[in-house]
Chain A
Amino acid sequence: MNPEMTENAAGTIQDLIEGRLPDETGRFGPFGGRFVSETLMHAITLLENQARAALNDAAFVRELESELADWVGRPTPLTEARSLSREWGATILLKREDLAHTGAHKINNALGQALLARWSGAKEVIAETGAGQHGVATAAACARAGLPCTVYMGAVDAKRQAPNVDRMNRLGATVIEVTSGDATLRSAVNEAMRRWIKNPETIYYLLGSAIGPHPYPWLVREMQKIIGTESRRQIMDRFKRLPDSVVACVGGGSNAIGLFHGFLADPSVRLIGVEAGGTGTDRNAASIVHGTPGVLHGCYTLLLQTDDGQVLETESISAGLDYPAVGPEHAFLSSVGRAEYRTATDDQALAAFDECCATEGIIPALETAHALAAAKQLATESPGELILVGFSGRGDKDLPTLRAKQDAPNG
């Protein structure tokens, strides 16, 4: 931990539960903040004011709730995975964000922010995307809200998630393939930020994860916490008890933070975030498990970096988890010990993917398969428990990646 950044850091889990975090500087303890160029300071200050005003405006909230119900299809179901439960020796419950419109939790945030963009009078929306799920969700939400939309996507990701590029185009978005840097999600964020700096007064930057400068980590979490609120209610209704563990995959960490928020104030519930273990300890995207504190994309958080503070390239079979940083609220939850973080490797995720397809009749996203792999591990460690898994998205988009892997001489 850098002493310079932690001197005045305050904040406890109680502060978080009672809504005092992030604080007025956008911090969760030492993590978070606003590390952006002067040109963007005005834009993010304005965004925070507009977001707070909109979320307190009854008409805005009414429209958001009605669109979430009738256009997104919420509440999403809670499915008992009977075969996996039998095989793994625990009760496995799946919160089915894959059944939300466009096939992942990303739509909750994309819709909320697209309505906010329209409410604030923005002329154009830009977004970054990794797996393409956020890009598709943003393209759909902007079509619905009547706003033009441009999506920045790393060229590597555009290739491995080609079906999503088609979907974005069909939904009327312009997709710009980013070839700078490592041509994955992190470079897409860089390019989107550069475009935003050029027109901070007319462009709305619709960030897709709970990362970036304040207010994004807060705003995205507010849009995603419906996953946790619904899950808790559904479990209490059906099982009359809380889950023992709540498991979700973490790239930037928006689906996990949304799910965790429903259970933060229930100390008996273990919160477990699962990062991409890639092909091993040297080649992964696990910023909490293997990272150290630093500043990237506007916030102080945990990063995969060299001793010189240069950000490392990451590796994961899952484009959506292939990111060298993590949302600052996860860094905070890890530092105060409220949530635990572990990894699932590519191979573990692929094994869980196959099991889920074959026995539950559901094709999970490769991101989601990481959460399933960890749930299997947990079931082995503590048999018989009630485990809630954030089923963040559907896996149709991953079929080309899996096909390529099958066809590869060594894979």
Chain B
Amino acid sequence: MVDTESIPGADRIESAIRSAKYEKGFALAPFLTAGYPSLDRFPDFLQGTAAEADLIELGIPFTDPVADGPTIQRTSRTALESGASIPWILDLLATTQIDTPIIIMSYLNPLLAYGFDRFAKDCASVNVCGLIVPDMPFEERQPLNQIANNHGLCVIRMVSPVTPNDRMKQICTAARGFIYATTICGTTGADDAIDVSAEQLLTRVRTHSSIPILAGFGIRTANDANRLSHHCDGVIIGSALLEAIDRNEDPADFLRNIRPISTATNKNPGIKP
């Protein structure tokens, strides 16, 4: 059974999230658009972000990011114009020492162009642990899921507020690494306030999932993160971080503000790793 075999990438992700939940209250998983704001400046941002992160999500820029809001559309366009590509980001990872587990986010088409097997193999060789493919729903998960597993990587599954319960159960049962719960319907970077429906979704996911749950989409502040962290294992922050970079803020400072360790509480501990 694929679903129960050991996948090293998934194991690393799960253990990183559980440790963070236990030690720091919740896991912090920042998202960066690979190659933004420029190919030259990105490596520093990557290092600074990784230092504060428990898990880091790197987005391969794509011309038509339909699941993304204005910020990531813009950063993707800039990154593409400056020449970011899959070979570029893989080369960078090969020459950069990063201990934080890495997840690559990409729309399906750039992966198809690169070749699934070649991509999974090259990712595994630079310590990437998992993949997120927003336009590849559960029904279309093969053959990429199997190919990724063969190379020790997992493909992260997403659920949303409109995912029905029976479907959520099916998705959670097959998922590895963590469940990515999009707390709102919409695109990334929304400015709708995080409300009770987000908490309801996370509670619903918890009843179906035995692996960690990360909340994402529209999480902008320490308040958002703290509030949601009572119902999940961590948060993904993308657009707000990229906007901080635009304001010339240090990404590490921005992330420390999201999760001030000194005040972090441990109200809902995970299992001690």
Contact = CB atoms under 8 A, between A and B. Distances in A.
Nearest to A311: B63
A232 B41 CA distance: 63
Interface stretch (A35-43, A149-157, A215-223): A35-43
Contact of A38 (B107, B109, B143, B182): B182
Contacts of B210: none
Interface residues of B, number: 46
A309 B114 contact: yes
Interface stretch (B134-142, B224-232, B239-247): B134-142
Given A297-B64, A298-B135, A39 B182 contact: yes
A198 B164 contact: no
A307 B110 CA distance: 9
Interface residues of A, number: 40
A38 B160 contact: yes
Contacts, number: 121
Most buried by B among A42, A307, A308, A310: A308
A38 B112 contact: no
Nearest to B70: A180
Contacts of A199: 185
A35 B140 contact: yes
A36 B135 CA distance: 4
B163 interface: yes
Given A37-B158, A42-B162, A201-B162, A2 B135 contact: no
Interface string B130-167: 00001111111001100100000000001111111001
Given A4-B143, A308-B85, A310-B80, A181 B64 contact: yes
A4 B108 contact: no
B112 A5 contact: yes
Given A199-B185, A310-B63, A35 B112 contact: no
Interface in A2-51: 2, 4-5, 7, 25, 33-39, 41-43
Interface string A152-180: 00000000000000000000000000001
A200 interface: yes
B116 interface: yes
Contact of A37 (B62, B67, B69): B67
Contact of A296 (B64, B140, B158): B64
Contacts of A303: 109
Contacts of A82: none
A294 interface: yes
A305 interface: yes
B113 interface: yes
B86 interface: yes
A319 interface: no
Nearest to B88: A308
Contacts of B67: 37, 197
A194 B69 contact: yes
B85 A193 contact: no
A41 B64 contact: no
A190 interface: yes
A150 B63 CA distance: 24
Contact of A193 (B66, B107, B164): B66
Given A296-B109, A308-B85, A309-B113, A198 B185 contact: yes
A198 B186 contact: yes
B187 interface: yes
A25 B62 CA distance: 25
B211 to A, nearest CB: 17
A7 B187 contact: no
Interface in A187-220: 190, 193-194, 197-201
A74 interface: no
| Residue picked from B69, B112, B139, most chain A C-beta under 10 Å | B112
B164 A295 contact: no
B137 A35 contact: yes
Contact of B113 (A39, A181, A308): A308
Given A37-B67, A41-B139, A310-B62, A294 B164 contact: no
Interface of B: 62-64, 66-67, 69-70, 73, 77, 80, 85-86, 107-117, 134-140, 143-144, 147, 158-164, 167, 171, 182, 185-187
13 contacts: A34-B139, A35-B136, A35-B140, A38-B159, A39-B160, A39-B182, A39-B185, A42-B164, A193-B66, A194-B186, A201-B162, A309-B110, A309-B114
Interface of A: 2, 4-5, 7, 25, 33-39, 41-43, 180-181, 186, 190, 193-194, 197-201, 293-298, 303, 305-311
